[in-house]
Amino acid sequence: MAAPLLEPEPASLPVAPPPTNTVTPPTNAVTPELSQEAIDAEVDRLQDWSMNDDPESLSNILADLTNSVKEVRDAAIDAAKQFGSTNAIPALKAAAETTDDLQEKIAYLEAADFLSLPGLEFSGLAVQKTPEQIQEQRDAIHAVHQQMIMQRHPQNQNAQPAPPPANGQNSPTAPNNN
């Protein structure tokens, strides 16, 4: 009696892990809610990674710069800026070269420029501001102050806020010589 022929078992191939730069919901139930949940989860991970100070977190952030989902790419740009490493600059510039979306290209390049700026650690050195910068800062503080007043007193929301005093004129501390 002849022995039955044994077929060789197929060689088992190692299963590669899924790439970390794509957001894919389970294939058995793809719904907009699940897809948005996966996107939100990746955005949350990016925020977490942006607060770390390790090469693996930066690598994960940089991988998501080319994610297939625009919302994730935008979050990755923000995370790269928050992470603050100049090591992200080449990846940001490379990602800018691969997109046809002008707004996205600008966002990548602005993030790279942001990271290339020197830090503002001056060890006690005073930084001189121009009069225009001082006035802009005063205007911004005044606007925030007005916003806080409007939030505290909603009945005054129809009233127009007074413009900030120019160069201290007519301010409570400056004499009014009119």
Q: Is the dihedral of CA 155, 166, 173, 131 positive or negative?
A: positive
Do 135 and 110 sit in the same domain of this protein?
no
Which of residues 93 and 125 earns the better pLDDT score? 93
**Residue whose pair of structure tokens reads 């503002």 in the numeric block:** 120
**pLDDT at 52 > cutoff 60:** yes
**Can you give the pLDDT at residue 3?**
52
Structural domain of residue 147, as residue ranges?
A: 131-163
* In a domain? residue 68: yes
- Do residues 50 and 109 both lie within one domain? yes
Q: Is residue 176 part of a domain?
A: no
pLDDT of 119: 63
Q: Is 170 left (phi over 0), alpha (psi -120 to 50) or beta?
A: left
Say whether both 56 and 82 belong to one domain: yes
Residue 17 in any domain: the answer is no
Angle subtended at Cα 48 by Cα 74 and Cα 62, rounded to the nearest 5 degrees: 45
- Cα–Cα distance between 82 and 50 in angstroms, integer? 6
Q: Which residue has the tokens 């910068």?
A: 133
Q: Are residues 158 and 94 in the same domain?
A: no
Mean pLDDT of 67-94: 95
Domain shared by 39 and 107, yes or no: yes
Q: Nearest CA to 134 among 93, 95, 167?
A: 167
Is the predicted pLDDT of residue 90 greater than 90, yes or no?
Answer: yes
For 138, half-sphere exposure in the C-beta direction (CA atoms, 13 angstrom radius) is 14
Where does the pLDDT of residue 120 fall: very low under 50, low under 70, confident under 90, or very high at 90 and above? Answer: low
Looking at the structure, tell me whether residues 58 and 104 fall in a common domain: yes
Percent of the chain with pLDDT over 90: 45
For 136-162, the pLDDT digits (tens) are 878 888 777 777 777 776 665 555 555
Same domain, 54 and 92: yes
Q: Between 172 and 16, name the one with better pLDDT.
A: 172
Instruction: Give the containing element (helix H, strand E) for 42.
Output: helix 32-50
Together in a domain, 36 and 101: yes
Q: Is residue 148 part of a domain?
A: yes
pLDDT at 162: 57
Asked if the structure places residue 40 within a domain, the reply is: yes
Q: How many helices (H) and strands (E) does the chain have?
A: 6, 0
**Does residue 169 belong to any structural domain of this protein?**
no
- Do residues 111 and 99 lie in contact, with contact meaning Cβ atoms separated by under 8 Å? no
Residue 23 lies in a domain: no
Q: Which residue has the higher pLDDT, 167 or 61?
A: 61
pLDDT beyond 60 at 75: yes
**Lowest-confidence region among 43-47, 54-58, 137-141:** 137-141
CA distance 145 to 107: 30
R_g (Cα) of the chain, nearest Å: 28
Assess if residue 76 is contained within a domain: yes
Residue 136 is predicted with a pLDDT of: 83
Residue 18's pLDDT band (cuts 50, 70, 90): very low
Number of domains observed in the structure of the chain:
2
Instruction: Tell whether 43 and 109 lie within a shared domain.
Output: yes
Same-domain check for residues 107 and 154 = no
**Between these two residues, 73 and 129, which has the higher pLDDT value?**
73
Residue 57 shares a structural domain with residue 103? yes
Map residue 16 onto helix, strand or coil: coil
Looking at the structure, do residues 80 and 138 belong to the same domain, yes or no? no
